Amino acid sequence: MVPAEGSPGGGGDAGGDGGGFLLLRPPESGSVRKGCDPFAQTQRSKLQHRRARINQQINKEMRMRAGAENLFKATSNHKVKETVALELSYVNSNLQLLKEELEELNSCVDIYQNDSESISVPMIPLGLKETKEMDLMAPLKDLICEHYGEDGISFEKEIKELMELRQAMRTPSRNEAGLELLMEYYNQLYFLDNRFFPPNKNLGVFFHWYDSLTGVPSHQRALAFEKGSVLFNIGALHTQIGARQDRTTLQGVDRAIDAFQKAAGAFNYLKENFSNAPSLDMSTASLNMLVRLMIAQVQECVFEKVTLTSAQNDFFTQLQIAQEAARVEEVYSLVHQTMTQAHVKDYVPFSWATMVHVKSEHFKALSHYYAAVALCDCPSVSDADLPEHEKAFVQFHVTMPEGPSLRLVLQDPEERRKLGKAHLKKAIMRHEEAMRIHSLCKILRKMDILQEVLSFAHKRSLSKYSEIDHEEDFFETGDAPDIHPKTNQRPEIKSPNFSQVKVTDIFHRLGPLSVFSAKNKWRPARRVHLARGENGFGLTLRGDSPVLIAGVIPGGCASEAGLKEGDYIVSVNSEDCKWSKHAEVDRRSVAMSAGGALQKNNKENSRKSLMNSKSASTLLAWSKKSKRSKSSTYSLPFTTVGDESMY
């Protein structure tokens, strides 16, 4: 959950002859984090700059197309219609070229990979959603003045700080600091929503964001679109962090697993908590595809982790690796099915769908290869170990292989060689299919590292096949059964932990959020003057932050001044005391020589605030401690809140 503000504290009646209301200044809020240098010439920043430029061009072409379509519908002149139709075809051609260029950028997965010289299968990261700059200065100042009765100019520092934070989060660094920056802004949006976005009124500003994959611009007045887009970028940044890890080391694999699991969690949280997004990348179908893709990449990392920590010639270990590979093939097949569905097929880059298909075939081949290694490279089973091996082998295949009994296969080297040869034959066929699919995509053909991985695995299977193939083999190699997918580490969808980044409400000076929020409507402040009478001021106080008037004696000074039960004291002697504690009010009340400002809450809160504060002894306690002159005058400006509550 987003960190909440401190709730109002304990009760009790104020004693003494006057209330000196201490000003509590909030700690300096402000983000010390900054985004990346937008002019830094890294490969990733260049890619993001090109994406931003294409997004702007797509936006321009779409506006031209919308105008041309409106003119085509409105005009009845045939010559004008012909001219507009020609212009539309030109604009549509430009849009298609721009979208193809953007798709190629989104397919540049090699830029996000690690710089290690080791060869590993590349992962699919996401580019960040782009957004336009926003000027919130005027809208927020107007609302502060209109809604809270405060001087909007005095909050220019806070508004500028919010705008700087938003600008910084547009270019987060590809590390934990970048994630914290995005999370910090996301948490500030919680406060912004409660402060400035009433349920039945908007701020009058549009939040503009570009689709991550198509570049199509979208805009909404709802702050939920801003929050959802930031959350999408949190997930996208996790994918980039996961893709850059060196997965040839155990530490790198663990970091990649954690990053992809958190990416899946961010996209899943977005899918479950945000609806009706105007951009396709945040639609339910797209987010479902992204969650499955991240889970598949986690499963691939788990396979790599097993290969790093396993003994080379252990029979059970080789079976485990083969089943892990089969599990990776299974989840990538599911991702490929999702990517080829009607609502997603035309949206996902062709290179992504092709790479997922290639990986599915590649890991199916690896599952058969490691099955062959278990059969051909591991020693035959002794009678003492046979029951344990039989139990593992029964659960290894989807269907039992045809031919001799399981006992004979495990104990006879020749039978093991024959079954291993069948698995290698199937592995080679799957490797060749993966290479064929890879060759169909122009973008993937340019990806040298993927081609090296596929070629290496294919040559390794061919070498193993040549090693166990005998010239005198006249039997026809059978069809090896598929391997049962199994994993010892199931991927976990890790939802975002928003509380890990602590933030202070930038607009802390407006007062506690539980009272001073957009859902409560305030009237303009007015100043009142109190002269202490023989029985004191005729009121009792209760609560903390802000202190509340819990009781008013009819006919007393407070009553004659217009104070009522449920009014809030927000300033005293021109000093803000919205965050003041009750005890501090008590301590300073005796020395007070000036007054305070009050705000009256709605009827519901007024009723809740009375709480046994009307007893005669309580009211008398206020005057019993009086030691000051009866002629002391107190200035108490106060604001009232009408009965209307905005929901």
Each residue's pLDDT tens digit, 288-342 = 999 999 999 999 999 999 999 886 778 888 999 999 999 999 999 999 999 998 8
Q: Distance between CA atoms of 484 and 480, rounded to whole angstroms? A: 12
* pLDDT computed for residue 181 by the predictor: 95
* pLDDT computed for residue 268 by the predictor: 96
Burial of 478 (0-12, 13-18, 19+ CB in 10 A): middle
Q: Distance between CA atoms of 14 and 335, rounded to whole angstroms? A: 66
Q: Distance between CA atoms of 513 and 522, rounded to whole angstroms? A: 14
* Inter-residue contact 422 to 478 (CB < 8 Å): yes
Higher-confidence residue of 54 and 83: namely: 83
The closest alpha carbon to 232, from 263, 275, 187, 200, belongs to 263
* pLDDT computed for residue 503 by the predictor: 92
* pLDDT computed for residue 414 by the predictor: 84
| Confidence bin at 98 (pLDDT 50/70/90) | confident
Mean pLDDT of 460-484: 81
Residue 7 CB neighbours (<10 A): 10
- DSSP conformational letter for 38: T
Mean pLDDT of 97-104: 68
Mean pLDDT of 58-75: 80
Q: 154-163, 199-208, 293-302, 449-458: which range is least confident on average?
A: 199-208
The closest alpha carbon to 336, from 348, 327, 326, 324, belongs to 348
Q: Distance between CA atoms of 307 and 130, rounded to whole angstroms? A: 39
Angle, to 10 degrees, between the axis of helix 284-309 and the axis of helix 350-376? 30
Q: Which helix (H) or strand (E) holds 463?
A: helix 448-468
Q: What is the pLDDT of residues 340-389, one digit of tens each?
A: 988 888 888 888 999 999 999 999 999 999 999 988 888 777 777 788 88
* Inter-residue contact 331 to 318 (CB < 8 Å): no
* Inter-residue contact 570 to 577 (CB < 8 Å): yes
| Confidence bin at 118 (pLDDT 50/70/90) | low
Q: Distance between CA atoms of 265 and 243, rounded to whole angstroms? A: 16
The closest alpha carbon to 289, from 203, 356, 386, belongs to 356
* pLDDT computed for residue 233 by the predictor: 95
Percent with pLDDT over 70 in the chain: 75
Q: 98-107, 331-340, 491-500, 589-598: which range is least confident on average?
A: 589-598
Q: 244-248, 264-268, 286-290, 473-477: which range is least confident on average?
A: 473-477
Residue type, 148: Y
Tokens of 80: 């004008």
* pLDDT computed for residue 371 by the predictor: 92
Q: Distance between CA atoms of 297 and 75, rounded to whole angstroms? A: 53
15-to-30, 285, 302, 412, 585 alpha-carbon distances in Å: 38, 63, 67, 96, 9
| Confidence bin at 34 (pLDDT 50/70/90) | low
Mean pLDDT of 180-208: 90
**pLDDT score of 645 more than 50:** no
Percent with pLDDT over 90 in the chain: 35
For 612, left (φ over 0), alpha (ψ -120 to 50), or beta? Answer: left
List, in sequence order, the alpha helices (H) in 136-283: 137-148, 156-169, 176-196, 223-243, 250-273
- DSSP conformational letter for 247: T
* Inter-residue contact 374 to 319 (CB < 8 Å): yes
**pLDDT score of 16 more than 80:** no
When computed from its CA atoms, the radius of gyration of the chain, rounded to whole angstroms, is 35
Across 553-595, the runs of DSSP E, i.e. the strands, are: 567-572, 575-576
Q: State the chain's mean pLDDT as an integer.
A: 78
* Inter-residue contact 503 to 184 (CB < 8 Å): yes
**pLDDT score of 509 more than 80:** yes
Mean pLDDT of 48-69: 74
* pLDDT computed for residue 637 by the predictor: 38
Instruction: Give 552's strand partners.
Output: 539
Instruction: Give 210's strand partners.
Output: 217
519-to-433, 457, 523 alpha-carbon distances in Å: 61, 62, 13
* pLDDT computed for residue 151 by the predictor: 87
- Label the pairing between strands 575-576 and 567-572: antiparallel
Q: Distance between CA atoms of 77 and 119, rounded to whole angstroms? A: 63
Angle, to 10 degrees, between the axis of helix 350-376 and the axis of helix 315-339? 160
b/e map of 410-431 (b: 16 or more CB within 10 Å)?
Answer: bbeeebbbbbbbbbbbbbbebb
Q: Distance between CA atoms of 195 and 506, rounded to whole angstroms? A: 11
> For residue 524, is the peptide bond before it cis, meaning its omega torsion is within 30 degrees of 0?
no
| Confidence bin at 83 (pLDDT 50/70/90) | confident
Q: 348-362, 480-494, 496-510, 523-537: which range is least confident on average?
A: 523-537
Task: Give the list of residues 6+ apart from residue 42 with CB closer than 8 angstroms, or none.
Answer: none
**pLDDT score of 14 more than 60:** no
Task: Give the list of residues 6+ apart from residue 74 with CB closer than 8 angstroms, or none.
Answer: none
Q: What is the pLDDT of residues 549-569, one digit of tens each?
A: 888 888 777 777 777 787 887
**pLDDT score of 613 more than 50:** no
**pLDDT score of 475 more than 50:** yes
CA angle, residues 457, 461, 464, in degrees to nearest 5: 140
Residue 319 CB neighbours (<10 A): 23
Higher-confidence residue of 350 and 610: namely: 350
* Inter-residue contact 496 to 134 (CB < 8 Å): no
* pLDDT computed for residue 302 by the predictor: 96
CA angle, residues 120, 236, 55, in degrees to nearest 5: 110
Single pTM value for the model: 0.77
Tokens of 240: 């980039």
Q: Distance between CA atoms of 51 and 362, rounded to whole angstroms? A: 31
**pLDDT score of 573 more than 80:** no
* pLDDT computed for residue 49 by the predictor: 64
User: Residue 540: helix, strand or coil by DSSP?
Assistant: strand
Q: Distance between CA atoms of 573 and 636, rounded to whole angstroms? A: 7
